[in-house]
């Protein structure tokens, strides 16, 4: 046990100093002279083990795997929260969402001007807009339903999707025309799709519709620098898939798992179409593509997070450690695994740095530009430490080197060496009480920088929450 204590201490002491803002703009020499395009593909509640590049045996994801195969796989890629809304807020701002009170999923209330991402915070789209980028959000928004939070008012020139935390997938089920009707009937998942400010009817399975729009946007903006945020709601419940996608997964016996897999197949087809379009337009070598899930797989959608412990809503690895990869042909090394911890916070910092977009000194980023790290220009760690807070659970967690620490009213106290125990099976708190106490103090000091949630607790149909 003394050897294990020594290993834990070394893991902590070997970390470099935390960088809490985007690195200066530093485009790699092999990059195009044109500003690079940016695509962030986000899935919803996809399990860590449910992509080929993380070893999936029953769900084929050849197109998603292309991003990892042609780029870099982050074996220790994290999001900032274990459920949808706050996680997306962290990604879109590059800042821990609890710094601005987004510590809960937003209520589905278009009359509530506090239930969304504060306008004082800048999203990726708002940072890129002044430097000439055209941005689109296609899919799930979940950043607030009040008019002040509408995507078209947050730097996105084009919006095609829905405002709530989830949606039904078959077009014939999308019958709700107005916001008031949706609130009254608790029927946000059945609202008609929005194209900017208009409600429209669709003809195809929702995932396919989102992929169609992504391709169309790329084709329209191929000659201009663009940012595409392709936020699929699959494979979030309800579990719904077309017969075509179900047939392609008929080898899976469990009905729910088969439907879940079919939903991922639809996403994978869409990712393939996006990547093929970039190649056909000859802009793939000038386009940076991120892929990740917004949190770990849910207990409700037949996902798998193995070998990680836990699920969506928890701060064990299965709730926050997600499939995560990035590609940029000719710039980012291909077929490489990057093992140091990285965060969805780093996406904003990376894009802002590459676009030479200024960041407010009053609201510094918590992420870093990942490009110098994955290209080998920087040899240190992107982060000395990553933190999490689950306010309503009374949870604080951190990862420092290989050390994982959690103090929680709901889950108790935990200490793990993730290098030796990635499944968090062997809690080391009892034999390392002094170390745990120091790390608890470190987490509490970080939490002093945060504010309580400004969003009131979520009250929607239990079957239809984000």
Q: Are 304 and 47 in contact (CB under 8 A)?
A: yes
Indicate the pairing of strand 226-231 with strand 134-140: parallel
Active site members = 84, 142
pLDDT values of the chain reduced to their tens digit, one per residue, 466 residues: 443 444 444 444 443 333 333 343 455 554 567 899 999 999 999 999 999 999 999 999 999 999 999 999 999 999 999 999 999 999 999 999 999 999 999 988 888 999 999 999 999 999 999 999 999 999 999 999 999 999 999 999 999 999 999 999 999 999 999 877 777 667 889 999 999 999 999 999 999 999 999 999 999 999 999 999 999 999 999 999 999 999 999 999 999 999 999 999 999 999 999 999 999 999 999 999 999 999 999 999 999 999 999 999 999 999 999 999 999 999 999 999 999 999 999 999 999 999 999 999 999 999 999 999 999 999 999 999 999 999 999 999 999 999 999 999 999 999 999 999 999 999 999 999 999 999 999 999 999 999 999 998 865 444 444 5
Q: Tell me the C-alpha distance between 39 and 107, whole Å.
A: 28
Q: Are 350 and 107 in contact (CB under 8 A)?
A: no
Torsion sign, CA atoms 26, 32, 33, 37: negative
pLDDT at 185: 63
pTM: 0.93
Residue 179 phi, psi (nearest 5)? -65, -45
């Amino acid at each position: 046990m003394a050897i294990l204590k020594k290993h834990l201490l070394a893991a902590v002491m070997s970390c470099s100093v935390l960088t809490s803002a985007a690195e200066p703009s530093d485009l790699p020499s092999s990059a195009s002279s044109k500003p690079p395009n940016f695509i962030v593909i986000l899935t919803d509640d996809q399990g860590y083990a449910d992509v080929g590049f993380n070893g999936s045996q029953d769900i084929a994801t050849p197109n998603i795997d292309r991003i990892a195969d042609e780029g870099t796989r982050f074996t220790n890629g994290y999001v900032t929260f274990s459920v949808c809304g706050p996680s997306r807020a962290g990604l879109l701002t590059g800042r821990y969402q609890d710094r601005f009170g987004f510590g809960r999923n937003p209520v589905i209330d278009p009359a509530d001007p506090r239930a969304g991402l504060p306008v004082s915070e800048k999203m990726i789209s708002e940072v890129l807009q002044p430097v000439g980028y055209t941005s689109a959000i296609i899919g799930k928004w979940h950043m607030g339903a009040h008019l002040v939070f509408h995507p078209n008012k947050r730097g996105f020139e084009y919006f095609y999707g829905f405002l709530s935390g989830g949606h039904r997938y078959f077009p014939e089920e999308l019958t709700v025309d107005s916001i008031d009707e949706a609130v009254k009937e608790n029927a946000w998942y059945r609202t008609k799709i929005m194209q900017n400010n208009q409600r429209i009817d669709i003809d195809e399975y929702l995932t396919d519709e989102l992929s169609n729009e992504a391709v169309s946007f790329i084709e329209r903006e191929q000659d201009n620098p663009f940012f595409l945020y392709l936020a699929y709601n699959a494979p979030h419940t309800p579990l719904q898939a077309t017969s075509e996608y179900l047939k392609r997964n008929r080898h899976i016996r469990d009905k729910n798992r088969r439907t879940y897999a079919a939903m991922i197949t639809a996403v994978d087809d869409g990712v393939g179409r996006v990547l093929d379009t970039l190649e056909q337009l000859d802009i793939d070598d000038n386009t940076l593509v991120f892929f990740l899930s917004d949190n770990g797989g849910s207990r409700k959608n037949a996902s798998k997070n193995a070998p990680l412990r836990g699920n969506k809503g928890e701060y064990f690895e299965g709730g926050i450690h997600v499939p995560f990869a990035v590609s940029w042909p000719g710039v980012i090394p291909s077929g490489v695994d990057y093992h140091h911890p990285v965060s969805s916070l780093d996406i904003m910092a990376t894009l802002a740095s590459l676009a030479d977009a200024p960041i407010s000194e009053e609201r510094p980023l918590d992420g870093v530009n990942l490009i110098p790290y994955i290209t080998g220009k920087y040899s240190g760690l992107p982060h000395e430490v990553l933190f999490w807070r689950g306010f309503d659970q009374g949870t604080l967690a951190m990862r420092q080197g290989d050390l994982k620490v959690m103090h929680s009213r709901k889950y108790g106290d935990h200490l793990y060496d993730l290098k030796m125990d990635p499944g968090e099976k062997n809690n080391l708190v009892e034999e390392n009480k002094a170390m745990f106490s120091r790390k608890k103090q470190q987490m509490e000091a970080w939490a002093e920088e945060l504010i309580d949630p400004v969003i009131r607790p979520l009250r929607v149909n239990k079957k239809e929450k984000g």
